[in-house]
Structure 1
Amino acid sequence: MKNSKGIIYTIIGLVVIIGIVFGIHSFTGNASTAKNATITIGSQGSDYDIWNHIADSKQAKKLGLKIKVKQITDGVQLNNATAQGSVDVNAFQSYSYLQAFNQQHKKNQLVALGTTYLEPLGIYSDKYKKISQIPNGATIAIANNPANTARGLLLLQSAGLIKLKKNFPALGNTNDIVSNPKHLKFKEIDDTTGPRVVHDLDAVLISNTVALEGHLNVLKDSIFHEKIDVSTRSNINILATAKKNKNNANYKKLVKLYHNATIQKYIKDKYDGTKVEVQKPLSYLK
């Protein structure tokens, strides 16, 4: 009987020890997995290519970041995927685009993690070499999404072609034009088609990401483009994530990674200086 009890106690003791050992292993394994979890970055266009390069870089490995890049070509779908969690962080949009999205999607709120660059929006034309040559009644193509529509109209105002009402809103449109001396006509287009329609219209506003895909350089090929100053700060591109993830330490490391000197040299060389680095605190955008 005593021997039986001893055997039972021994078995219980072994079970407890095994349980503790496996529990510790499981805990440390889970902690390690959480620490080194893969971050899914959603992107499009040239930004997709940049983040694929960054994902494979030595700099990412040094920061302990495992990155998977996912391409979603529609901006609204990409933001919704980020808000809903199938994408952790996205890299494609300006701060003004993010603001416009948040205004229209109250249940899928996003926040900026940090600034990346500014790509000047440009006015392109196959018919005219100067803004002053654009004639009365000319047709100009602008983007059909709210944030880029407003940005384009502000650029046309800077070029002296139109005048907008005071306190022009983030989602402003052609109804907010108070002066149009050349009686310009505006054609709203999917902004990804800009390089294809520039031959058919008098002028087209094209974002630099799209321009690059069409083998255009905003600094060389546009007849007018945004200047880099305080007035264009809301057009600075950002890394964005779901509001609940705004304090995620690993996501914030992505901002540091983007601004690494070696990464920046690669971007500058590949895109001929058209992605102008902006390393500012988020407060600068507001």
Structure 2
Amino acid sequence: MKKGKGILITIVSLLIIIGLIFGIHTLTNHSAKSANSTITVGSQGSDYDIWNHIAKSPQAKKLGLKIKTKQITDGVQLNNATAQGSVDVNAFQSYAYLKAYNQEHKKNQLAALGTTYLEPLGIYSDKYKHINQIPNGATVAIANNPANTARGLLLLQSAGLIKLKKHFGTLGNTTDIASNPKHLKFKEIDDTTGPRVLHTVDVVLISNTVALEGHLNVLKDSIFHEKIDLSTRSNINVLATAKKNRHHKTYQKLVKLYHEPAIQKYIKDQYDGTKVEVNKPLSYLK
């Protein structure tokens, strides 16, 4: 009887040991797979081209990162894809845009991983060469999406053309203008059409991504543009991921990769310095 009991204990002990070995092996394989898995980076426009370059760069290889790029040209769809997991990280939006998206999509929350650059929003005109030449009653074309509408109004305030209400927020609009001494008229446009309407209105606010596609350089062709300061910190672009992945160490390596000197040299040369590097902690944005 004692002998049978001893055999049974031996068998159970062996099964436990085998189970532990198998479990460790599986866990190791899973960890290795996770470490070597491909990160899908979703982007659009010039940022898509940049991340195609980054994905193939020696710097990505050195950090052990395998990157697959995916282009989705609609910002909301790209954020939805990121929140739902078909895209791991996206690279296209300002922090203000991300906050506006989160306010409107309570079930699809995103979080910033790190800062990348400020792509200055510019005020453009075919008719006037200086901001002080803009006449009374001029028509200003402004983006019709919430984040860029607010950003455009803040830029007009910085240029001295309007004054906004004291508690103007990231989703503010033209009803929040406290003073409009030049009696400017506002025309809402799809923000991708800025260069095409430039000759039809007095003034157009154009994001630099769109300006580049229209062969405009914000540093040379605009009559006024954003600078890096506290008033523009919400306009700094970020890498974003689903909120649950905000502490994902592999995803966070993408931030370091973006700021590698060789990558920055490529971006500066390729885009004439219009994507101004911002390497700040996330706390700077808040």
Is the pair's TM-score, using the shorter chain for normalization, greater than 0.5?
Answer: yes
User: For the aligned residues, what is the CA RMSD?
Assistant: 1.9
Corresponding residue for 1:231?
Answer: 231
Partner of 2:183: 183
TM-aligned CA deviation for residue 21 of structure 1:
8.8
Report the AA paired with residue 54 of structure 2: I
Secondary structure of 1:192's match? coil
Specify the alignment match of 2:7 in structure 1.
none
The residue correspondences of 1:138-149 to structure 2 (distance < 5 A) are 138-149=138-149
Residues 83-136 of structure 1 deviation map (CA, whole Å, 9 limit, x = unaligned): 111110000011111111111111111110000000111001111111111112
CA distance in 2, matches of 1:69, 1:282: 24
Amino acid corresponding to residue 270 of structure 1 in structure 2: Q
Q: 1:18-33 residue pairs with structure 2 within 5 A?
A: 27-33=27-33
Deviations 1:152-198 (CA, angstroms, capped at 9, x unpaired): 00001111111111011110000001111111111111111111111
Kindly provide the amino acid, as one letter, of the partner of residue 244 in structure 1. Answer: K
Q: Distance in 2 between matches of 1:183 and 1:238?
A: 35
Distance in 2 of aligned mates of 1:221 and 1:203: 13
> How many Å separate the matches in 2 of 1:114 and 1:23?
35
TM-score, normalization: structure 2? 0.91
In the other structure, the counterpart of 1:7 is none
Aligned-partner Cα distance in 2 for 1:83–1:203: 36
After superposition, residues 3-152 of structure 1 pair within 5 angstroms as 27-152=27-152
Deviations 1:39-88, CA, capped at 9 Å, x for gaps: 01110111000000000000001111110111111111111111111110
**In 1, distance between residues paired with 2:19 and 2:242?**
38
Equivalent position SS for 1:181 = coil
Aligned residues: 272
One-letter code aligned to 1:238: V
Q: Tell me what 1:285 maps to.
A: 285
Counterpart of 1:3 in structure 2 is none
Identify unmatched segments of 5+ residues in structure 2: 1-16
Note if 1:247 corresponds to 2:271: no
Instruction: Look up the SS of the partner of 2:183 in the other structure.
Output: coil
Query: Which residue pairs with 2:3 in the alignment?
Result: none
User: Helix, strand or coil for the counterpart of 1:102?
Assistant: helix
Equivalent position of 1:193 in the other structure? 193
Map of 2:10 onto structure 1: none
Aligned to 1:108, the other structure's residue is in SS state: coil
Give the Cα separation in 1 of the matches to 2:102 and 2:19: 48
Distance (Å, rounded) in 1 between the aligned partners of 2:57 and 2:30:
26
Q: CA deviation at 1:20?
A: 9.4
Q: Which runs of 5+ in 1 are unaligned?
A: 1-16
Secondary structure of 2:192's aligned partner: helix
Describe how 1:196-215 pairs up with structure 2 within 5 A.
Answer: 196-215=196-215
In 2, the alpha carbon distance for the partners of 1:26 and 1:284 equals: 41
The one-character-per-residue Cα deviations of 1:2-35 (angstroms, maximum 9, x if unpaired) are: xxxxxxxxxxxxxxx9999987765544332221
- Residues of 2 paired with 1:59 and 1:249: CA distance? 17
